[in-house]
Amino acid sequence: MILSQSIAPGATVEGLAPEDLRAVAGSVPAARVALMVRDPLILIRGLCALDGRVGAILLLSHALPAETAVALAEQAGCSRILTDADIARLPSGPASAPEVETEWLMTTSGTTGMPKIVPHTLASLARSVRPHPDAVWGLIYDPTRFAGLQVVLQALIGGGRLVVAQGSPAQQVAALAGCTHLSATPTWWRRVLMLPERPQGLRQITLGGEIADQPTLSALAAAFPDARLTHIYASTEAGVGFSVKDGREGFPADYLTGDIRIEGGVLWLHGIDSGDRVERDGDRVRFLGRENGMMNIGGVKVYPEAVESVLLSVPDVVMAKVSAKRSPVTGALVMAEVKLAEGADPDAARARIQTASRAALVREAVPAIIRFVEEFHVNAAGKIVRS
Amino acid sequence: MLENSIKSVFNSVWASEKTSPPPELSADTVLLNTGLDSLGFAIFVSSLEDELGYDPFTISQDAYYPQTFAEFVAFYEKFRPAA
């Protein structure tokens, strides 16, 4: 399967010419390439031009630190990192150019250490694409992430029109006028619920990237009575898991067959440990959080250890424990409990913690709540007990 | 007065997130159009819980999301615990 040959008849992307989707690169800069592109439209052009022409495409978010991007490209055997300008300069070639099966390399997100590279193929990524020639798809997600790429492939291969919405939520809502199918995080949808302007004419609302909770699902059902409401469970590692269409949080227990099962309180998908803790409650299965303590702050994954190590680098911080505090707006917030050295000034320490966190961490990982405590529960090995 | 407490918490969250002066909140100000993003708004709601001792978003059984400042204050008023 090659992307430029799989574009549905009539599929269009607002801001791109039809030939941009069907042109392949006449020559390629390297056998394996990484793409680190800021403009989603240029990224889409690059994917169409390069799939089938290079051995591998590594998709890197433009938000990654440069040294992380270089290390990932090296690890993936990609000798070039292509940016917006490089894609714009790619020469187009004859449609009969030689073809290879391109590996699509996605990366896991998160704020600790190095993201993990997860290999896919176009066929595996496009597994859930269905024909929808009349749909107008809104792209809000980063298209280098799994959820965003799903929207792009659905529009290109399944048909319809793709609209890329950028800027603030109010600007996005304006850009999405006429959009029929829209996929975004629960945090994005909650934000739209708190704005007077609403996207009109939506037929399909999809939530993903975070656990969808009942208040958000119920409020969306009330605000968009004519739209179908679906929440998706997926992961970069396992691909699309399943979707839930009954407007209730969690998923029906009768989904638990074969490929989807619970082992030791954790959800397994296609034989892969998802790391998500779940609980069966009668005919429903509900999500309880991550096994490794990873927090999801409005769709951004944050590991407590990464935040703790920053806190511990601050003078006067003796011990630190980071956990998630539930938030009705972003699902969770980062809460830090900190023990200070004897006699330390809490106000000065708070300011130093904030400065150090903002310098070292993405915004979502900066502790929103800092509490000073006298003692922690420690176990026999001297480690702080996580509840 | 509840409205003033909410305003003062808003201003202090704004000061910690932004360098510009906080906007004047009037009855019909849409809070999420002030420039505070979702994360800022989440911190605002969490700070209000610390200050006031309750979070109407969690208490409320209705799936309701206030838009204007007046609606927001009314939402906190409705769920204020009896003294």
What DSSP string describes B36-77?
--HHHHHHHHHHHHHHHS--HHHH-SS-----BHHHHHHHHH
The CA distance from A368 to A346, in Å, is: 16
Query: Residue A8 corresponds to which tokens in the numbers above?
Result: 């549905």
Closest partner CB to A330 (pick from B31, B42, B65): B42
Q: Is residue B56 part of a domain?
A: yes
Q: Say if the Cβ atoms of A328 and B45 lie within 8 Å.
A: yes
* CA of A81 vs chain B CAs: smallest distance (Å): 32
Contact in structure between A108 and A133 (CB atoms under 8 Å) = no
Q: Cβ(B50)–Cβ(A209) under 8 Å?
A: no
Q: Do B58 and A330 touch (CB under 8 A)?
A: no
A262 and A280 in contact (C-beta within 8 Å)? yes
Q: What angle do CA A351, A353, A358 make, to 5 degrees?
A: 95
Q: Do A330 and B67 touch (CB under 8 A)?
A: no
Structure tokens at A49: 């031009």
Q: Is B20 exposed, middle or buried (0-12, 13-18, 19+ CB in 10 A)?
A: exposed
Beta bridge partners of A107: A117
Q: Is residue B57 part of a domain?
A: yes
Inter-residue long-range contacts of A238-244, CB under 8 Å, 24+ positions, other chains counted: A238/A269, A238/A270, A238/A272, A238/A274, A239/A120, A239/A124, A239/A125, A239/A127, A239/A146, A239/A270, A240/A127, A240/A128, A240/A150, A241/A269, A241/A274, A243/A206
Contact criterion met (CB below 8 Å) for A133 and A122? no
The answer to whether position B83 is within a domain reads no
Of the candidates A342, A376, A364, A369, the one whose C-alpha atom is nearest the C-alpha of residue A353 is: A369
The answer to whether residue B30 is domain-embedded is yes
Beta bridge partners of A364: none
Question: Helices A214-223 and A186-193: crossing angle, nearest 10°?
Answer: 50
Distance from CA of A197 to the nearest CA of B (A): 10
The tokens for B3 are: 């409205």
Q: Which residues have CB under 8 Å from B61's CB, separation 6+?
A: none
Residue A375: the pLDDT is 83
Q: Is residue B68 one of the residues assigned to a domain? A: yes
Interchain CB contact of B22 with A (< 8 Å): no
pLDDT at A110: 64
Q: Parallel, antiparallel, or unpaired for β A239-244 and A204-207?
A: unpaired
Nearest to B45 among A188, A193, A327 (CB): A327
In this structure, what token pair is assigned to residue A149?
A: 């790429």
Q: Does domain A3-288 have CATH number 3.40.50.12780?
A: yes
Tokens read off for A33: 């390439």
Domain count across chain B: 1
CATH of the domain at B33: 1.10.1200
Does B42 lie at the interface with A, CB-CB under 8 angstroms?
yes
**Tens of pLDDT, residue by residue, chain B (83 residues):** 899 999 999 999 999 889 999 999 999 999 988 989 999 999 999 999 999 999 999 898 778 899 999 999 999 999 999 86
pTM for the model: 0.85
Ranges in chain A, pLDDT < 70 = 94-98, 110-113, 235-240, 380-383, 386-387
Q: What DSSP string describes A32-51?
A: EEEE--S-HHHHHHHHHHHT
Q: What is the C-alpha separation between A300 and A108, in angstroms, rounded?
A: 11
Domain ranges, residue B58: 2-17+26-78
Contacts of B55 in chain A (CB under 8 A): 328
Number of C-alpha atoms within 13 angstroms, CB side, residue A374?
Answer: 0
**Residue B45 is assigned to a structural domain of this protein:** yes
Interface of A with B (CB under 8 A): 169-170, 187-188, 190-191, 193-196, 214-219, 222, 297-298, 325-330, 333, 354, 363-364, 368-369
Exposed, middle or buried: residue B1 (CB in 10 Å: 0-12, 13-18, 19+)? exposed
* Interchain CB distance below 8 Å, B38 and A190: yes
Token pair in block for residue A109: 């997100």
pLDDT for the residue numbered A370: 95
B45 touches chain A (CB under 8 A): yes
Alpha helices in chain A (DSSP H): 3-6, 18-22, 40-50, 66-75, 84-88, 122-125, 146-158, 169-175, 186-193, 214-223, 304-312, 346-360
Sort strands A284-290 and A272-281 into parallel, antiparallel or unpaired.
antiparallel
Query: Would you say A92 and A23 are in contact if contact means Cβ atoms under 8 Å apart?
Result: yes
Going by the DSSP 8-state scheme, the letter that residue A186 receives in this structure is H
Q: Class of the A295-372 domain?
A: alpha beta
Nearest-angstrom CA–CA distance, A296 and A330: 8
Note the pLDDT tens digit of each residue in A140-187: 999 998 889 999 999 999 999 999 998 887 889 999 989 999 999 999
B57 touches chain A (CB under 8 A): yes
What is the model's pLDDT at position A299?
87
pLDDT score, position B15: 93
Please report, to the nearest 10 degrees, the dihedral formed by the alpha carbons of residues A246, A252, A258, A259 taken in order: 50
Domain parsing of chain A, residue ranges: 3-288, 295-372
Ranges of H-type helices in A194-303? 214-223
Amino acid at the residue A206 = T
Residue B82 CB: number of other CB atoms within 10 A? 3
**Inter-residue long-range contacts of A376-382, CB under 8 Å, 24+ positions, other chains counted:** A376/A319, A376/A321, A376/A337, A376/A339
Q: Which residue has the tokens 């296609």?
A: A270
Instruction: Identify whether B13 is part of a domain.
Output: yes
